[in-house]
Chain A
Amino acid sequence: MAHLQFDLVSPERLLASVEASEVQIPGADGDLTAMPDHAPTITTLRPGILRVVHGGTTDEYIVSGGFAEITAGGVSVLAEKALPRAEVTQEVFDRLLDEANVAHETLKETFKNEPGPVDDAAKLLADMVAIGDHIGLSSRS
């Protein structure tokens, strides 16, 4: 069976580089699964869970912001924030959520008459909360 070369990079380091059989990506327009010989695609990411299936095991990463480049032979995910699922504890999650909250509030202040950026931040916040529900961490607010 054909394999995909999967790379996950954040600005600070290369998080993963494995041969995978499928990669599930939280795209901005909806989730998509990349398998070998996928049509070349570039998609932006929304905050969500990235799943990588390789050799029968599934790795999960929490990603936020950035984009994924899919080619027939591989997937490169360039995420601004990326953490292995296991590293996301309640504490880390709270911090991420706080950041999204603060961003939302400041944007509400600065762009009173332009809904665009505020809506984006609100969506980001909602996506973060959704991740929390998904992996069983409470989102307090």
Chain B
Amino acid sequence: MANLKVLKNRIASVKSTRKITKAMQMVAAAKLRRAQEAAEASRPYTERFNAVMGGLAASVGDSASAPKLLSGTGRDQTHLLVVLTAERGLCGGFNGNIAKLAKAHAQRLLAAGKTVKILTVGKKGRDALKRELSSHFVAHVDMTEVKRVGYENAQDIARDVLARFDGGEFDVATIFFSRFENVVTQHPTAQQIIPASFETDGDAGAATLYDYEPSEEAILADLLPRGVATALFSALLENAASEQGARMSAMDNATRNAGDMIDKLTIQYNRSRQAVITNELIEIISGAEAL
């Protein structure tokens, strides 16, 4: 009988686990939709921004007076890795994949004799990198209080990164985040933001000759810091969508696993119940025969 009781409790506990994972999956699905909408709403800005910057960078980029944010400091000794992850776990390989990519990148740089500095955004990435790379941490941005990623969040991080760049703390900055493709696929991505590189469509940038007001250099100097914020903002949004997508599929798997487990346990429960009944019958019958 003791065995039966244990099984029954086990089934009940797996059932409540399934309820929780199911609920989490639904919450993630709802949040995913919102995150995706936010990512899509920001796309026109990012696209146009990059198009204009690409054109500007192409016309100013080679001159010696080009801002450092575009041409670099001329060295690549010190690297800043900005690792963007989630604040919460239970989202499959999402945090782990980003951390793994960042770690591999850091180790490659260290092996080449470079100095590595790490800025983490989101608790989970910090935890994942703490064991091996904690001596390289320079700062951490806490996003626990942030319900919905806004442009201000990106601006705050950008301001911090730019202050460090102006202070000569690093030469190259790379951000690590997860690019959202669809609910089941998210690609951990590394993107260099300083010195800036803009994807140009080749001919599109050069097609129109613009008048610049004030000068090209002044516009570039004004816009490049904004470019850092824009890149961070779109990375944060991609990340938010990826996190929810990853959580949704992880919780979907968990729910299905719990279902399978309940089925298995139920069969086991029924079998042992039947065994107990058979046993009792045998006892009664053999008792009756003995009389």
Report A's interface with B, CB cutoff 8 A. Answer: 7, 9-14, 27-29, 32, 39-44, 65-67, 69, 71, 76, 78, 80, 110
Contacts and interface: CB of A to CB of B under 8 A. Distances in A.
Contacts of B38: 12
Interface in B180-238: 208-214, 218-219, 222-223, 226, 230, 233
A42 B49 CA distance: 12
Nearest to B148: A12
Nearest to A103: B159
Contacts of B212: 41-43
B151 A80 contact: yes
A122 to B, nearest CB: 16
Contacts of B219: 42-44, 67
10 contacts: A10-B45, A12-B38, A14-B45, A32-B213, A40-B210, A41-B212, A43-B213, A44-B219, A44-B222, A76-B48
B41 interface: yes
A71 B211 CA distance: 10
Contacts of B49: 78
A78 B45 contact: yes
- Counting chain B CB atoms within 10 Å of each CB, the highest count among A10, A27, A44 belongs to A44
A-B CB proximity, top 3 nearest: A43-B213, A13-B41, A11-B151
A44 B223 contact: yes
Contacts, number: 74
A74 to B, nearest CB: 11
B211 A66 contact: no
A7 B208 CA distance: 18
Interface in B32-49: 38, 41-42, 44-46, 48-49
A65 B214 CA distance: 14
Contact of A71 (B208, B218, B223): B208
B52 interface: yes
A36 to B, nearest CB: 16
A138 B233 CA distance: 33
Nearest to B46: A11
Given A41-B210, A44-B218, 6 more contacts: A29-B214, A42-B56, A42-B213, A44-B222, A67-B222, A76-B48
B134 to A, nearest CB: 28
Contact of B213 (A29, A65, A71): A29
A12 B226 contact: no
Contacts of B154: 11
Contacts of B45: 9-11, 14, 78
B226 A42 contact: no
Contacts of B230: 11
Contacts of A10: 45, 151
B51 to A, nearest CB: 9
A39 B211 contact: yes
B150 interface: yes
Contacts of B151: 10-12, 80
Nearest to A81: B151
B261 to A, nearest CB: 43
A62 to B, nearest CB: 16
